[in-house]
């Protein structure tokens, strides 16, 4: 015969409140009927609300009890405590277990003054001496000179200017002027919080071999600055600049970089950066 499950006092009290809530709701509904006196309607509304609260609290408590009872059933098997286990996820420990050790190698015992046989000497492994790697030689130092500019193509000079400006902390976007050489390089700030898509300056790169840079050569740069509302511009060239054009460029917010100024910027870079500049130029060879 199956044993009877004892009643839980908390469950008995919850059912009592549930029945009391039903009775209160019934009386409240009756008092709210149109046939009843209007003065009794507020009492009926209060009793109806009181009954709903009692019945609702009963259902909420029962739902919580069922959810707590099902928590263990929903957990995976490897997390449930076994009979007599200390807690979840505990694994049985065997104190008598000893990890297996590799068998010890037998060492022959020789009599005093005896030499090992040739077969025994062959059986013993010989450890080769460790090879010490030779220290790596430092990379050759690049020495930039003005004569290196004489062998640069227009495309190589454009690549040099863009890489040099990139090392200065700008994001660059270049537009080539075609086979004749020359490029327009737009500079963007890497730390600007607003207007990241707008350039902060523009650079005109052009070799102009065999001639001096004058105001006429700077006119395209001035037009770009005006069209994009820029106050700063740079003209990089391998040619020379007259003193009058330097004054003119300074008034217009243009920084002139002639042959010597470009070389000075390169030599101010670290040896690794100078090597990277040379590699960039050689890529365009």
- The CATH topology of domain 146-283 is Trna Endonuclease; Chain: A, domain 1 (3.40.1350)
Say what the pTM is.
0.50
pLDDT at 136: 58
Q: What is the pLDDT of residues 135-178, one digit of tens each?
A: 555 556 788 999 999 999 999 999 999 999 999 888 999 998 88
DSSP H or E segment with residue 21: helix 9-31
Per-residue pLDDT of the chain (285 residues; tens, 9 = 90+): 444 444 555 566 667 777 887 888 888 788 788 888 888 888 888 888 888 888 788 777 777 766 554 444 444 443 444 444 444 343 344 444 444 454 555 555 555 555 555 555 555 556 555 565 555 555 567 889 999 999 999 999 999 999 999 998 889 999 988 877 789 999 998 876 655 778 999 999 998 888 888 899 999 999 999 999 999 999 999 998 888 899 999 999 999 999 999 999 999 999 999 999 999 999 987
Residue 128, both tokens: 């080769």
Query: Can you tell me which residue has the tokens 């890529």?
Result: 283
Q: Cα–chain-centroid distance for residue 160? A: 31
What is the DSSP annotation of 125-157?
--PPPPPPPPPPPPPPPP---GGGGGG--HHHH
pLDDT at 200: 92
Alpha-carbon dihedral sign for residues 34, 35, 38, 44: negative
Distance CA 51, CA 59 (A): 13
DSSP H or E segment with residue 236: strand 233-236
Question: Pick from 195, 171, 168, 163: which is nearest to 278 by CA?
Answer: 163
- Residue 256: phi and psi, rounded to 5, are -90, 130
Domain ranges of the chain: 10-79, 146-283
Could you tell me which residues are beta bridge partners of residue 254? 233
pLDDT at 20: 82
Asked if residues 285 and 156 have their Cβ atoms less than 8 Å apart, the reply is: yes
Distance CA 90, CA 223 (A): 78
Residue 71, both tokens: 């928590």
The size of the chain, in residues, is 285
pLDDT at 94: 46
What is the DSSP annotation of 40-85?
GHHHHHHHHHHHHHHHHHHHHHHHHHHHHHHHHHHS-GGGSPPTT-
pLDDT at 80: 42
């Amino acid at each position: 015969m199956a044993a009877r499950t004892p009643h839980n006092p908390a469950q008995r009290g919850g059912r009592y409140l549930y029945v009391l809530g039903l009775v209160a709701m019934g009386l409240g509904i009756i008092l709210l009927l149109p046939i009843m006196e209007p003065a009794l309607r507020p009492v009926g509304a209060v009793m109806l609300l009181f009954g709903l609260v009692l019945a609702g609290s009963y259902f909420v408590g029962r739902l919580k009890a069922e959810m707590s009872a099902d928590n263990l059933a929903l957990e995976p098997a490897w997390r449930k405590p076994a009979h007599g286990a200390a807690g979840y996820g505990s694994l049985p420990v065997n104190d008598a277990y000893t990890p297996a050790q590799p068998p010890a190698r037998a060492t022959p015992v020789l009599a005093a003054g005896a030499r090992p046989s040739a077969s025994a000497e062959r059986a013993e492994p010989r450890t080769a001496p460790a090879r010490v790697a030779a220290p790596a030689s430092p990379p050759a130092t690049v020495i930039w000179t003005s004569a290196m500019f004489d062998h640069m193509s227009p495309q190589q000079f454009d690549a040099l200017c863009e890489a040099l400006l990139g090392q200065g902390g700008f994001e660059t976007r270049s537009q080539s002027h075609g086979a004749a050489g020359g490029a327009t390089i737009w500079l963007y700030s890497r730390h600007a919080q607003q207007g990241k898509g707008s350039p902060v300056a523009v650079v005109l790169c052009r070799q102009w071999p065999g001639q001096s840079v004058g105001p006429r050569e700077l006119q395209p740069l001035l037009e770009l600055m005006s069209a994009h509302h820029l106050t700063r511009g740079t003209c990089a060239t391998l040619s020379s600049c007259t003193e009058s054009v330097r004054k003119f460029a300074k008034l217009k917010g243009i920084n002139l970089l002639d042959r010597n100024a470009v070389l000075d910027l390169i030599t101010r870079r670290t040896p690794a950066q100078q090597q990277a500049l040379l590699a960039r130029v050689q890529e365009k060879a």
